[in-house]
Amino acid sequence: MYSGTGIYSIPEASRLIDVKTREIQRWLFGYHYRKTPGDAASRVNIEPLWEHELAHQDFDEHVIGFRDLVELRVVREFVRHGVPLQVIRKCLVRAKDLYGVSHPMSLPRFRTDGRTIYAEALDEVQQENSLVDLKNCQSVFKDIVKPSLYDVITYDNDMQQAMRWHPEGTRSPIIVIDPARQFGAPIIEETGTPTNTLYQSYLAEGTDTKALTVTSKVYDVPLKAVEAAVRFEQALKRTVH
């Protein structure tokens, strides 16, 4: 039923993209506050940035899909570059209209100058380096910063949807997050073995060089891949939110 979607709990997503669980909850499930403390009538509800992939499915806890994960990773980078969240919200709405997709920020077409977000102009009549200012709906011609977000993502042939992600923290394309395999859990790309499975074996065998070798033999996974899985999982364990 969920093949090709990927399923991630909020703590799992938090570790994978290095964003606090509280922020993910606010961005994807909304929140509220009261203008006047103790006054129920002053309650203000803030809607999610977008409707996540599994919003209409019945789970015991909040979970999100692979495209949500990739989109959140991009939102994280824009926030870190100083783009206000209210600007991101407005730009998301306009970008959805512009590109006709539900998760537009994960497309490799964005730029930021720290104040607003730009999408590459689709009108071929415009100058080659012209960009569309999604906040003000006008063309801009300025030097801007592009975060290195998209090189580790594989897209479909039309560049309309993220298909796979070689996550940050790995220095080689050994590990992949693919929603069509193992429900989107991080795996060794060559064998499909979950990195957590290899890591747990490594722990059980004694966490030394011999443990790496034994795990490699037991799961028939190259030693280099086992080492990459252990480094990756250790990095996730250090990411606590």
pLDDT in tens, 85-112: 888 898 898 888 888 888 988 888 887 8
Residue 153, beta-bridge partner list? 165
Segment holding 195, helix H or strand E: helix 195-204
> Residue 157's CB: how many other CB atoms inside 10 A?
7
User: Edge-to-edge strand order for the sheet containing 153-155?
Assistant: 153-155, 162-165, 175-177, 186-188
pLDDT digits (tens, 9 = 90+) for 127-182: 556 778 887 777 666 556 666 778 888 888 777 788 999 987 565 689 999 999 99
What pTM, to 2 d.p., does this model score?
A: 0.85
> Is residue 167 within 8 Å of 66, Cβ to Cβ?
no
Residue 125's pLDDT is 44
